[in-house]
Amino acid sequence: MLAAVPVDAFAVLAEPTRRRILDELRRSESSVGELVDLLTVSQPAMSKHLKVLREAGFVSCRTAAQQRIYRIETRPFQTLDEWLEPYRRLWSRHLDALERHLDNQEEPR
């Protein structure tokens, strides 16, 4: 089953270790063992975090012999980006106002 974002994306990202995992996978895909070595996390803990990330759609994995190679998925990040959009408008509006203000400052020359 595909878990259609049942788990809250923010809750998933609230875990620092999971963000480090994503940060690593953003650079390149890796096996569980590689991640265990890179970040300092026990193997069971790593598997659990990966499970959470997987079920939230942040990563996918393929089987290569006895290894599972994990890679990052972009959809959840896009969703997050969309969520952020209205707030982004908020501060870019402020920036616009600031620019106008600065322009007015310069005008008198």
Which residues form the interface with DNA (CB under 7 A)?
Answer: 11, 14-15, 17, 31-33, 36, 41-52, 61, 63, 65-68
Do 60 and 70 meet the contact criterion of CB atoms below 8 Å apart? yes
- Contact flag: residue 8 with a copy of itself (CB under 8 A): yes
Selected from 13, 32, 52, 61, the binder of a copy of itself by CB under 8 A is: 13
Distance between CA atoms of residues 29 and 7, nearest Å: 23
Site size toward a copy of itself (CB under 8 A) is 22
> What does the block give as tokens for 40?
């300092």
Task: Name the nearest CA neighbour of 59 among 19, 92, 91, 88.
Answer: 19
Q: Which residues bind a copy of itself (CB under 8 A)?
A: 8, 10-11, 13-14, 16, 19, 22, 26, 72, 74, 77-78, 80-81, 84, 86-88, 90-91, 94
